[in-house]
Amino acid sequence: MFCSWQINLYFCIHFNLSRQKHLKMAKEITSREENYSQWYLDIVKKAQLADNSAVRGCMVIKPYGYAIWEKMRDQLDKMFKETGHVNAYFPLFVPKSLFEAEEKNAEGFAKECAIVTHYRLKADPDNPGKLMVDPEAKLEEELVVRPTSEAIIWNTYRDWIHSYRDLPILINQWANVVRWEMRTRPFLRTAEFLWQEGHTAHATKMEAIEEARLIHDVYARFAEEWMAMPVIKGVKTENERFAGADDTYTIEAMMQDGKALQAGTSHFLGQNFAKAFEVKYLTEQNVEEYVWASSWGVSTRLIGGLIMTHSDDDGLVLPPQLAPIQVVIVPIPKPEPELMLVADAIADKLKEKGISVKIDTDDKNRPGFKFAEYEMKGIPVRIGMGKRDLENNQVEVARRDTKEKTSAPLEGIETYVEKLLADIQANLLQRAKTFRAGHTTIANSYDELKEALDGKGGFVYAHWDGTTETELKVKEETKATIRCLPLDGEQEEGKCIITGKPSKQRVIFARAY
């Protein structure tokens, strides 16, 4: 029999053990090797980035995930404004007759449109307390929930543009769009997503092309400098182009499973929308011309790319430039007053440097649990400090990317951390570049292409004859698509690995999200 303290002890131990086990289980995630796809879903869930919703294919972006999006949005918005763009807002709905005006665009999106047909509910006479769509409130013309806004915007631009003096128009909008996707995955592919879409109007073809390229550069710079995600800048093939575009510029990133992610696109739209919506202007020479256009967008998909570029089997890894919390300070073993005094002082110094800091004030959980928690959330730097550390005038600094720990002197800790954050940012980019280099193949035959795709995966540079036929054949046989015709680097001529016909440059084949 147990005496009472034994029972208590038993309970305590049992409780702690089961609690520890519960906690451990709550934090365990599938490893990348075991199941890459599940690993991704586990991170989205355990790092509290997003949640499923009651609406098929739509996610709830949780506060921590949204905070990352806010950082992305603020920086992109700054870059757009620095390059002369302004924001505006156009309606969520597109009347069907406008939607179908640019035929290629309409055809491209028709199969995935949410359609509003009625504008009222009424009490259901057969089901007390329930509602039904009121058949008398049917719209004369159905409304498409925007999958993209070219149609509604170019219909508006017709009223805004009369003379060359009204050009260029350099407008961006931050909005939600809906594409009824059958297979969804949080951030990467959801029925509703958040994005920005730029829609510009120009007097000349060259100006519209320059605009599309300018934004292509902005996207690439954002991906590399802020997301620490290296990208290949290139042009899409005709088959992979945006519906309604004459050219689509893309940035393509490589995920840790070797698959490509199209991370942002910028389109030269020619005069396609101007012609569909009769948008003309008078030139300085008083001649009537159709207007030239570009459009461009990045979305919450970038968060999916961010996760899959840097994270590991312990959870999310965030580049400091986009981390909502850059540094967490953990008093060890608990937030006692004398430790808190020092924590506050460190936090103040870091904040003065513009570094975002959280002090852990939780007195219930143990340090090990907390450390795992902050690792799961990808906080770039963790400062741990116990009494002995302080006696030695130092703290323990752990970096999330490499998981290295070092002791650092309290004196000048803010400069040390500032440099460390820059190091982490640079290291993440370098690590991703090294990974990409290790998963890039130059293939000189179809067999080499297949071998690379089925082997290490990644990007395969190969010659292609420029035809959609060949492109589709490869896609059907290997599930790889042409991600882009890269714009940077050497342009080497050769022969198509499939047909042997002449090729002007190698293109990038990869399996993609």
Angle (nearest 5°) at CA 466 between 461 and 468: 105
Report if residue 88 touches a second copy, rule: CB under 8 A: yes
26 binds a second copy (CB under 8 A): no
Q: Work out how close the CB of 5 gets to a second copy at its nearest, in angstroms, rounded to a whole number.
A: 24
Q: Report the candidate in 335, 390, 381 with the shortest Cα–Cα distance to residue 360.
A: 335
Among residues 244 and 466, whose Cβ is nearest to a second copy? Answer: 244
Stretch that binds a second copy, among 176-184, 213-221, 372-380, 505-513 (CB under 8 A): 176-184
* Cβ 98 to a second copy shortest distance, Å: 6
Q: Considering CB under 8 A, how many residues would be counted as binding a second copy?
A: 64
Helix axis angle, 63-82 relative to 301-310, nearest 10°? Answer: 110
Question: Which of 61, 381 has the CB closer to a second copy?
Answer: 61
How far from the centroid of its chain's Cα atoms is residue 468's Cα? 29
Candidates 224, 316, 301; CA nearest to 261 is 301
DSSP designation for 279: -
Structure tokens at 280: 């003309």
Cβ closest to a second copy, residue 154 vs residue 464:
154
Among 23, 30, 71, 100, binds a second copy (CB under 8 A): 100
* Residue 51 contacts a second copy per CB under 8 A: yes
The residues near 367 (Cβ < 8 Å, ≥ 6 apart) are 330, 332, 333, 384
Peptide bond into 333 cis (omega under 30): yes
The residue (of 98 and 498) whose beta carbon lies closer to a second copy is 98
Binding mask 58-77 for a second copy (x = CB under 8 A): xxxxxx--xx-xx-------
Nearer to a second copy (CB atom), residue 203 or residue 507: 203
Taking CB under 8 A as the rule, does residue 114 contact a second copy?
yes
Query: Which of 105, 148, 155, 505 contacts a second copy by CB under 8 A?
Result: 155
By CB under 8 A, residue 98 contacts a second copy = yes
Q: What is the SS3 string spanning 419-443?
A: HHHHHHHHHHHHHHHHHHHHCEEEC
Give kind and range of the element (H or E) at residue 282. Answer: strand 280-282
Minimum distance from residue 6 beta carbon to a second copy (Å): 25
Determine contact, residues 271/152, Cβ cutoff 8 Å: no
Positions touching a second copy (CB under 8 A) are 51, 53-55, 58-63, 66-67, 69-70, 86-96, 98-100, 103, 106, 110-123, 129-131, 133, 142-145, 152, 155-156, 159-160, 171, 175-176, 178, 180, 192, 194
